[in-house]
Structure 1
Amino acid sequence: MNRIHNAVQELGTEGWHMPWSGSNGGACVEVRKLPDGRFAVRQSTDPEGPALIFTQVELDVFTQGWEAGQASLLAS
């Protein structure tokens, strides 16, 4: 398993996208698809901080849970 210690050093600065925009003044997450098909997710206000790495299946399950209201603690 690859360990990601620092989003900038390991993942670079190119290819990051904000998958949605909100009214929170730009404090959002950024997502980047990695060459091996996984997805890196990081805090946009801390681009040199850590990134979470998800497989497509893991990201799908997270998204489905969010849409089903199972992540309400994260939204508050």
Structure 2
Amino acid sequence: MQRVENGAMASGIQGAAWRKSSRSGGNGNCVEVATLAGGEVAVRNSRFPDGPALVYTRQEIQAFMEGVKGGEFDFTLA
């Protein structure tokens, strides 16, 4: 199993099936995610598909998603 760390080039992450939100609007400013073989979640900028990816544990992604759903990050839209 390939070990992937933060800052790894997204193009070099084997077996990653990148997905973006259907709400992205098609303007090229999207965040894409991929679930990795070890259970981690990689995140990349769709404008730079060969650029670096951030890699998070499932627990980190869960905590972030719960915060988003709970409105904790709404201040970023103000």
Kindly indicate whether structure 1 or structure 2 has the higher relative contact order, using CA contacts under 8 Å at least 6 residues apart: 2
Q: Provide, for residues 12-68 of structure 1, a one-character-per-residue CA deviation record: whole Å limited to 9, x for no partner.
A: 475111134233613111111100011101011111111111111110100011111
Q: 1:16 to 1:2 in 2, by over 3 A?
A: closer
Following superposition of structure 1 onto structure 2, how do residues 28-47 of structure 1 map, counting pairs within 5 Å? 28-47=30-49
Query: TM-score, normalised to structure 1's length?
Result: 0.77
Q: 1:15 to 1:43 in 2, by over 3 A?
A: same
The aligned counterpart of 1:48 is 50
Q: Alignment partner for residue 64 of structure 1, among 56, 63, 66?
A: 66
Runs of at least 4 residues of structure 1 off by over 6 A? none
Unaligned runs of 5+ residues in structure 2 are none
